[in-house]
Structure formats: C-alpha cells, structure tokens
Chains A and B, each alone.
Chain A
Amino acid sequence: MGGPLQVGLGKKEHQMPNHEASSQRCWMLLSIFLALASMAPIMVAAPQWGAPKEDLLALPGEAGRPGGRLVVSLRAEPKTLNPLLATDAPSREVIAVMQADLVHINRATQLTEAALAKSVKVSSDGLRYTVTLRQGLRFSDGQPLDADDVLFTFRVYLDESVHSPQRDLLIVGGKPITVRKLDAQTLVFEFAEPYGVGDRVFDGLAILPRHLLEKPYQEGKIEQVGTLSTPVNQWAGLGPFRLKEYVPGQRLILERNPYYWKTGAEGTRLPYLNELVFLFVPSADAQVLRFQSGDTDVISGLGAENFMALSRQSKSYALADAGPGLEYNFLFFNLNDLSGKATPELERKQRWFREVRFRQAVSAAVDREAIVRLVYQGRAAELWGPVTPGNRRWVDAKVAHAPRSLDQARQLLREAGFKLTGDANGDSVLLDAEGNPVEFSILTSSSNAERTKMSTLIQDDLKQLGMRVQVVPLEFRSLIDRVMQTKEYDACVLGLVSFDADPNSDMNVWLSSGGTHVWNPSQAHPGTPWESEIDRLMQEQLAVTSYEQRKRLYDRVQEILAEFQPMIFLASPDILVAAKNTIGNFHPSVLESYALWNVEQLYLRDGAGHSGR
C-alpha cells in the first residue's frame, strides 16, 4: 500500500441498530458490586457468585463451533499494542482484535452500531452525546469496566504530552471534546460545535484499562506500557482476544478473552476461536507460500496476481473478492508554488501542469480500462474521482465516467496552445507554445509493483499524445521526501487509503492547508479559486449534521475535483482475501480490518484447524 494514511473520522447516524441480548437492569446491585470490585480486585477473578447480569450483545449470523486456532499472516511485526501510540498498520490490525470502542462502525453495513455503549442519545442541537455503558462488562483480565475508565481514556487521548494520533479527531471547532461522568454507567460528551461526523468519532477509540494505565500515566511513562514486551498479566483490553505470548520476529499469540461481551445468536459467548495467531511474514509472495504450505489460514490484502495464482491452483481455499476498497490510486503533477526556487526547467513544466486543459487531456488519454485489466487483472474499479464504488454512501453518481479518448485529448491540447509534430524517426512529438518538447518524469514507489506498472501504461498512453514520459521508481521514503519536502519532481503516481467511508477521513487531502494535499501541500492560503471553494465545502460539511446536506456538499467537492483534475484518478483495487474454506462466518469487508472485522464470529468448521499445534 504505502500511501500515507489519514486517520478517519466518521459521520453521524441518528439510528443506532442495536442487537441486545438482554435489557434487564440491575443498577443498584451493579454499582455496589463495582464499588466492591475496585477495592478488592482479587474477588473479581473469583467465579460467578453474585455477579450482576451482564449486558451482552448478541450478534446475528451463523452459529459457530467453539474452539480451534486461526493463524493469520501479518506483513510486519506490530510496533506496539498500546492504542495510544499505534500508527502503523500491523499494530492497528492487532489492536483491533484486542480492544473495543464505545460505538463501532459495522464493516459490512458501514453504519455505526452501539458497542460498549448500550445507547447513545444525541441532543437536538447535536452538541451533546449521552452515552450509557453496558452493565457488568469486564476487561480481559477480569477487572470491571465503568465510567471512570472511559473518563480516564479520553483524558489520556486528549493529553497533548501523550501525542496520541487520535487527539486531532477529538478537537472540534478548535476545542477539545469535554467528557463528564453522570454515574458509574453514564457519561456526557460535549462538543463546542455541531460535528458532522457524529458518533462515528467513537469508532476506533479503544477504551483503556485505567487500573493498568493510571499509575504509569501519572509517572509520565505511559509509552512504556502495552509494548510487546509487557508481561501478559500487565495488559488488558475489551476486545475478543487477549495477549498470550509474543515470540519476537516470529509470531504473536492471542487467546480467547473469556470476559468478552458479545454472544452468538444461539447465546454462546464469543469468540468461538480459542486462539488467534499472527505470524509475521514479510513479503506478499512469502505470505502466499506460507498460506499454500498450510502455515497460515488467512491472508488479507492479497495482490491480484497472487489471488489469480491461488485461484488457479486449488479448490480448498475460500477466495473472496470483497469489491473495491477505499484505496484510490492517482497521478498528480507538481503544482506547488515554488516562487522562484524552482529550476527554470521545472518552472517551464509547471506552466503546462497548471493548465487545466493539459491535465484534462492527460486524464482523457489514460486507459483506465487497461490499468484495471493489466495491473489488477480485472479485480479493481476504474476511477474518475476519489470516492471509490466501495464507498456506497458517498460516491457521487454525477461524476462523468468519461471513456478514453485520444481525439478529445489532442483537441484539448490544441486549444491550450500545444502543437503536435513529428520527429526524424516518425514518432510524434508534442511541443508547447514556445516550441519546447513536452517531456516529464513520473515518480513511483519502487516497492509497489502495481503503481510502477500503472505508470508504464500511462507512459505508453501519453506517448500517443507525443509526450515523452520517463518512469522513475524511487524508494518510498525518498519519493515522499521529494513530493512533500523538497518538491523536486514533475509528476507522481501515488495511492491513498481512506480510513473510513466518510468524507472526513480525507479532510487532510482536500483542505489546501492539509499535509496530504499532495499536489500542493500545507498552503497558507488556497492558491486557486477552486481550492478555496473545496476548503469552504469541506469545512461546511463538517459542521452540518444531516446526511443529505453533507452528501450534497461532498458531491460538489467530487465534481470540482473531476473538473480541475488536480489528481487524475486511476483505479481502486478490490479487497482480496484468501482463507481456508473451513472457516465459518467468513465475510471480508472493504474496510479495515478486511477479513478479521468479525473475528469474534469466525469459527473452524471441521474443528481441526491448527488446534493440534
């Protein structure tokens, strides 16, 4: 993948689909119990005597068989298990199965559902969220969960000295969200301004175990907790699995959390699996080999070619194509305002790049169909805008899906003052108004074979317009350095992955002041009228709470992007997943964490799996 990722916000949902097992309440008993429990932690670990009724969440879906072990390959070792510090994808993937949030986005419906919160009530002005926790929940070490844990969690997330990546999400209208505790089960969240994201803001904000973190937090050592070397009994979460063993360089073994708060439709406490093992397999090809040899049971994020290779080889695999994900790949030109610092050569090139018709011509000449077919073997969607077909609720149907047209491209170039001539060898050459041949280079990440291949196809497409293009594969870090820091480049092919199916997750890309506004990042003032229009629309949708209004505003953003083509959108690959076909309830989603989003419901049909090892 390799693209810089944005942290995702969500959008507001008024309806809260809620699957409740039991709505019985035992308020008094519970709070007494909790009071006792916090004083005498040992008692909690004891068996079920006098335990309050737990408010478990029953999930619909196929009833599974308990037991067994699932081995999943992970591209790299997670850097940490601490949600406050995790920024890398492997860490987030592991944390997602060890932690839980108040409100969770259902990866299948892309809507929010109450999770640790039993209910969320929104005030009519949209400024105040009253969250009631489920009763009787416990962390994976048996300690009970109450409002103080939530209070503590948000205090830490909002603490500037912790530098948690989630902090920015909790600043609304320049002010941090305030959290108040009403009683042991109820909290009130207050926003300074209406927040278009709504309760999606809670997704991914893991509720932390105060009993383990408070002391290190006060000592300023919070980054030393929840690392991979933390003893097993010093770490806990509310997710379906908990830490069992970590073998550096090899694997991370998680075991079933016996206190998990969801049940299957038949009433069995989830998760079904006894163990979940993350095996560290560094390369995509090695992942396929380990999968074929039976060492792993699931690969998420498979490349199209490997997917095809697997599908040709055996029928004992469940190969799932979940459809286009939220990754969008695009070509963009260097539109930075370098005011005199650019070399004369780059300055001359930027005059072409700034010409809207030039960018439109390039877009018209790009053979997206060939990219989808040759790069992704048909397992991708052609793109004309940043919102992929996988993002069903936000994609703007009005953005034209213009077919490839070299004639139109040539027409646009002629209108913009370019001239098409031939050279001595009979190849066509495009000259600009001053008679310079149009030549530029496209940077790609050398570690991403797919984007390099896309660039080679674009190179050939543009050759037919008489443009001489060189493809320059660069190591990813130096590529980002050139694009974001030194700004010494002509054009670049990159990809970004939206965190969530919500416009806010790409705020950083569309705002002209955003750090990921790739073609001209971190501007003090928007450089063009259409960029300032996008800025205005994006700010506006943030403060509006109705879906229809936000959709209208975001549609307009998509249309402006399609017209001015600061990025020439290419394709969005499908989320491809391979698994043994003995896994039940296997429904990969296009959102993170693709195959494991419903890990608590996954089970092994034959019961054998890896339980023997």
Chain B
Amino acid sequence: MTKRRKLVKWLVVLGALHGVVACAGFLSPYDPTEQDRERPYAPPVRLHFRDTQRRFHIRPFLYPLRVREGSFAQFDEDTARVTPVRFFVDGSSYRLLGLVPCRLHLFGAFPARICLLGTDGYGRDQLSRILYGGQVSLAAGLLGAGTTLLFGLGIGTAAGYYGGWRDDVLMRLAELFMALPWLYLLLGLRAFLPLSVRPTQPFLLIVIVIGLVGWARPARLIRSVVLSFKERDFVRAARGFGASDGYILIRHILPETSSVLLTQAAILVPQYILAEMALSFLGLGVPEPLASWGNLLANLRQYSVLMSYWWMYLPAVAIVPFFIGYLGLASALQEWADPSRWA
C-alpha cells in the first residue's frame, strides 16, 4: 500500500503544479505581452510592511519604481507613494483554463505595477511570462509525449505481435529514425512554413516533430513486452479457443504494456519540455511576443543580461519542481508496477 501512497503523493504534487500553470491567467497579475516601456529590466519589487516613518501596515505594500535620472535600468523606490497590494482585482482579460472569459486576478496593485519577479527588457512582467510560458512548454511536453507513445505503442505492438518481415521493417525504420539529424530537419521544416504564420503553427510543428522523434525507443520496449506475452499460456489458450488478433491484443496483451507506457510517459514529458526549451532557445519555437520557458531563457544568451539581471534566470528555477515531480512519479510508477509481474 505504501507504493500506492507514494504514487498518489507524486500525482498530487504534479497535479498542483500543473494546476498553477493552467490557471496562469488568474494567478498572474498582467497580460504576458503587456509592455511597460518605462521600466525595462526592473528588479523584483520589494514588499514592505513598515513604511519610512516606521509605521506598520497589515496589508503589504510596495513603493513604485522609477528610473534613476540619467541611467538605464537602475531603479529607485519612490517612497512618497505607498501602493498597497490588493487581492482579487480586475485587470487584463483572459480565458480561465482557456475557456471562460474572465478579468479577475488573484492580486495586483494600482497605480504602480507589481512585478514580483521583475521585468524583462520590454518591461513585461516576468511572473506572468513564466506562468504563461509554462502553459506552452508543458503543453508541448505532454502532447509530444502523447504523440510519441501513441506511435510507439502502435508500431511496437505491430512489430512484436506479427513478427517476421513486418518486425524487421519496423525495427530497421526505428533505427533509421534514431539516426536522423533531427535538429537540421527541424530547421529545414521551419523554412518550409510560410512567413506569416499564426503562433499556433510553429507550436504544433514543434509538438509533432518532438513527438515523432522519440517513438523508436518506446516502440522497442513495447515490442519486447508484446513478444514475451504473446507466447504465454493464457494467450495461446485464448488463441486456441479461436479468439481474433484484435481480441487478444486488447484483452490480453495491451493491458500488460500499461506499466511500461506510464513509466515511459513520466520520463518522456520532462525530456520533451527540455526539447521544447532547446528549440525555442534556438528561435524555432513560439514567436515573440508569446512566452515559453525556452523563449524566456533565450534572453540569457546575451552576455549583458547574463551578468546584470539575475531575475532573468528564474524561468530555469521554475522548471525544477516539475522535473522533480515527474522523476518522482516515474520511480514511484516503476515500484508500483512490479517488474516481476511480467518478467
């Protein structure tokens, strides 16, 4: 039972993390593309409880930032104006979970902007961008992993169950796919897209490509599982009673692959999140002004950003809990799906 509890624990952790990203619109104070040209590279805002007269405020407040005279991106707090943090405020419109039009935000401040994690070079709120960027990156990871497993399952099962020349062809194809230089292929594919594309097109391209890249490995794993099960007595018995291939696959063999599939999924999702980041970093991902974690980190390519604005590293920090979550889930799944059941 502890195995199951461990599994549930990781599922809850991951569910919470994904929930945060899914509710980006509500949790982030601003639209991720909204620029504040007066405050580029503003550092994370400081929340105060005590003002300059040492008076205590129950509601946390902030001092608006203003650019230091004659400088770029050096800011002073304007201590004359106390701006309290407000909760459940109206702000930019968004669609909650992509469906419900909504204007309510968890927190905000007026008239100054509250950028808890600072701003980027256009004065866009870094927290909002990390949350919205997470939607893109996680969706790419999840959809990509889904595509991979679908292909892997189909091809692996076909190869393992039917065997013979089909097995040979499919497995050689798998080896071919493993050997292809995917990055160059992707660069080439991007060049084929028309110039003016909706932001969704490069996104879908990324998902499809990273989804297709990886099918070979899960397909081999699933093939081996299918191979070992198709010779088991209960499968032979079913066949002896005249069961069709489809019946045997669905009733007896595919259920046995579920533990492999799930473990693979838990490993593939973080891998694909990384892949999306790498591609966006190379400029092949979703275009500006949309955010994705890779896009956000691409700012760090510039030496001056790397050296001067530490809060630009935060998107990298945001990824860490997700990765811990997925890897924890993967190991919990492995324990749960006791290998001895099919070894």
By a beta-carbon cutoff of 8 Å, the part of chain A in contact with chain B is 284-285, 288-289, 303, 305-306, 308-309, 312, 367, 370, 373-374, 377-378, 425-426, 439-441, 443, 446, 449, 452-453, 456-457, 459-460, 470-473, 478, 488-490
A489 CB contacts on chain B under 8 angstroms: 195
B303/A370 in contact, CB under 8 A? no
A377/B196 in contact, CB under 8 A? no
| A306 in contact with B37 given A471-B287, A471-B288 (CB within 8 Å) | no
| A456 in contact with B122 given A308-B72, A489-B195, A490-B196 (CB within 8 Å) | yes
A284 CB contacts on chain B under 8 angstroms: 303
| A470 in contact with B197 given A308-B304, A374-B40 (CB within 8 Å) | yes
Sorted nearest first, the 5 A-B pairs with minimum C-beta distance are A285-B303, A305-B304, A377-B72, A309-B304, A441-B196
B283/A446 in contact, CB under 8 A? yes
A446 to B288, CA, bound (A): 12
**Can you sample 19 A-B contacts with CB below 8 Å?**
A285-B302, A306-B304, A308-B72, A312-B308, A367-B37, A374-B40, A374-B121, A377-B72, A378-B72, A441-B196, A449-B302, A453-B121, A456-B122, A460-B33, A470-B287, A471-B288, A478-B191, A490-B195, A490-B196
Q: Which of A289, A370, A439, A449 contacts B196 (CB 8 A)?
A: A439
B37/A370 in contact, CB under 8 A? yes
By a beta-carbon cutoff of 8 Å, the part of chain B in contact with chain A is 33, 35, 37, 40, 72-73, 93, 101, 121-123, 191, 195-197, 199, 283, 287-289, 302-305, 307-308
B195/A488 in contact, CB under 8 A? yes
A457/B287 in contact, CB under 8 A? no
A446 to B73, CA, bound (A): 25
* Closest B residue, CB atoms, query A286: B303
A489 to B194, CA, bound (A): 10
A425 CB contacts on chain B under 8 angstroms: 93, 101
A426/B72 in contact, CB under 8 A? no
| A456 in contact with B196 given A370-B37, A378-B72, A446-B283 (CB within 8 Å) | no
| A306 in contact with B287 given A457-B122, A460-B35 (CB within 8 Å) | no
* Closest B residue, CB atoms, query A307: B304
A309/B33 in contact, CB under 8 A? no
| A306 in contact with B303 given A367-B37, A456-B288, A457-B122 (CB within 8 Å) | yes
**Minimum Cβ distance to chain A for residue B281 (Å):** 12
| A305 in contact with B289 given A377-B72, A377-B73, A439-B196 (CB within 8 Å) | no
* Closest A residue, CB atoms, query B308: A309
A309/B121 in contact, CB under 8 A? no
B283 CB contacts on chain A under 8 angstroms: 446, 473
B199 CB contacts on chain A under 8 angstroms: 470
A367 CB contacts on chain B under 8 angstroms: 37
A309/B307 in contact, CB under 8 A? yes
**Minimum Cβ distance to chain A for residue B122 (Å):** 6
**Minimum Cβ distance to chain B for residue A224 (Å):** 36
| A459 in contact with B288 given A308-B72, A374-B40 (CB within 8 Å) | yes
**Minimum Cβ distance to chain B for residue A477 (Å):** 12
* Closest B residue, CB atoms, query A345: B196
A289/B303 in contact, CB under 8 A? yes
| A470 in contact with B303 given A367-B37, A446-B283, A460-B33 (CB within 8 Å) | no
**Minimum Cβ distance to chain A for residue B293 (Å):** 18
A456/B303 in contact, CB under 8 A? no
**Minimum Cβ distance to chain B for residue A111 (Å):** 33
A452 CB contacts on chain B under 8 angstroms: 288
A309 to B37, CA, bound (A): 20
A425 to B94, CA, bound (A): 8
* Closest B residue, CB atoms, query A439: B196
A460 to B199, CA, bound (A): 15
Q: A441-B196, A470-B199 are in contact. List 4 more A-B contacts (CB 8 A).
A: A285-B302, A308-B73, A378-B72, A456-B122
A303 CB contacts on chain B under 8 angstroms: 304
A440 CB contacts on chain B under 8 angstroms: 196
A443/B195 in contact, CB under 8 A? yes
A37 to B121, CA, bound (A): 64
**Minimum Cβ distance to chain B for residue A571 (Å):** 14
A460/B195 in contact, CB under 8 A? no
A308 to B287, CA, bound (A): 27
B40 CB contacts on chain A under 8 angstroms: 373-374
A441 to B195, CA, bound (A): 7
B303 CB contacts on chain A under 8 angstroms: 284-285, 288-289, 306, 309
* Closest A residue, CB atoms, query B196: A441
* Closest B residue, CB atoms, query A457: B122
Question: Taking each of B93, B289, B303, which has the highest tally of chain A beta carbons within 10 Å of its own beta carbon?
Answer: B303
**Minimum Cβ distance to chain B for residue A486 (Å):** 11
**Minimum Cβ distance to chain B for residue A73 (Å):** 14
A288 to B305, CA, bound (A): 13
A311 to B283, CA, bound (A): 30
A489 to B283, CA, bound (A): 19
**Minimum Cβ distance to chain A for residue B37 (Å):** 5
B122 CB contacts on chain A under 8 angstroms: 374, 453, 456-457, 460
* Closest A residue, CB atoms, query B74: A312
**Minimum Cβ distance to chain A for residue B296 (Å):** 14
A305/B302 in contact, CB under 8 A? yes
A439 to B289, CA, bound (A): 15
* Closest B residue, CB atoms, query A310: B304
A459 to B121, CA, bound (A): 15
A456 to B120, CA, bound (A): 13
B33 CB contacts on chain A under 8 angstroms: 460
* Closest B residue, CB atoms, query A473: B283
A333 to B191, CA, bound (A): 21
A453 CB contacts on chain B under 8 angstroms: 121-122
B191 CB contacts on chain A under 8 angstroms: 478
A373 CB contacts on chain B under 8 angstroms: 37, 40, 72
A470/B196 in contact, CB under 8 A? yes
A286 to B35, CA, bound (A): 30
**Minimum Cβ distance to chain A for residue B245 (Å):** 49
**Minimum Cβ distance to chain B for residue A160 (Å):** 38
A488 to B191, CA, bound (A): 13
A472 to B121, CA, bound (A): 19
A170 to B35, CA, bound (A): 51
B289 CB contacts on chain A under 8 angstroms: 456, 459-460
A443 to B191, CA, bound (A): 13
A288 to B33, CA, bound (A): 31
A374/B37 in contact, CB under 8 A? yes
A478 CB contacts on chain B under 8 angstroms: 191
**Minimum Cβ distance to chain B for residue A453 (Å):** 7
A460 CB contacts on chain B under 8 angstroms: 33, 35, 122, 289
A312 to B73, CA, bound (A): 12
B37 CB contacts on chain A under 8 angstroms: 367, 370, 373-374, 457
